[in-house]
Amino acid sequence: MTTRSTQDTGAEQFGAFAISRYEGDAARCEQELLAACQRIFPGFDGGYLVPRLHTVTDPVLFVARVGLRLAAFKLAYRPRPTLLYSWLGGVDPESKRRGVAAHLMRKQHALTRHAGCAAIETRTRATITPMIMLNLRHGFEITGYGIDHQEAPAGRDATMRYAARLEEGKWIETGDLVAQGRTPERMFEMELTRIGDCNWPAAR
């Protein structure tokens, strides 16, 4: 756990949003983050955020505010010196579809390059299609998956099945949620810019 604490001097404007960065202990703003998570994620359990927030190493928090309201945020930390783990982020319902999530991700990636990290890692649920698409569009590749028993329908194990097809000269990737005893459910479909040998590629 770090004791270093820094904050941007002055906020950058992105449309109607004021963007600020906090590092170290300044990023552990428990009450503000908890309130934002409870607005953004229905049924959010504060027990997931609060204990971990005070033990992660070198946290970095980007926030977007409209006035005094925290409208969006992106929180990461360093599990080791060369890796940034992009842990938690979201946009409140009033601020969606205005590009702020992508802007915060670009800010996070730019900071990571300057900080000497070799890689960024993140995880998301198979059912959160917008987050999967945002990650793919910004250079993440899907390198594995796990079973979330709480997310699986009717208590059954669920996995994501990915496929790519060539259609009218374009590669199209699809992702289906597959669970025992249930018809596969299409979660996303997108055009790819390249096909990788081992990992799924970034999309447009």
What average pLDDT does the segment 92-119 reach?
83
Residue 27 has pLDDT above 70, yes or no: yes
Residue 64 has pLDDT above 60, yes or no: yes
* 12-138: CATH number: 3.40.630.30
Q: At what angle do helices 100-114 and 129-137 cross, to 10 degrees?
A: 50
Residue 62 has pLDDT above 90, yes or no: yes
Can you name the residues that pair with 191 across neighbouring β-strands? 172
The predicted-structure confidence for 135-177, as pLDDT tens digits, reads as follows 556 555 554 555 444 444 444 456 667 666 666 766 676 777 7
- pLDDT bin (cut points 50, 70, 90) of residue 106 is confident
Distance separating alpha carbons of residues 114 and 193, to the nearest angstrom: 27
What average pLDDT does the segment 106-132 reach?
69
Query: For the chain, what is the mean pLDDT?
Result: 74
- CA torsion through residues 199, 83, 13, 38, sign: positive
| Contact call for residues 64 and 40 (beta carbons, < 8 A) | no
| Contact call for residues 107 and 19 (beta carbons, < 8 A) | yes
Give the residue, 63 or 143, on which the prediction is more confident. 63
The predicted-structure confidence for 6-19, as pLDDT tens digits, reads as follows 555 457 899 999 99
For residue 153, the model assigns a pLDDT of 42
Domain ranges of the chain: 12-138, 159-193
Among 82, 124, 107, 77, CA closest to 11: 107
Rounded to a whole number, what is the largest CA-CA distance in the chain? 55
| Contact call for residues 34 and 49 (beta carbons, < 8 A) | yes
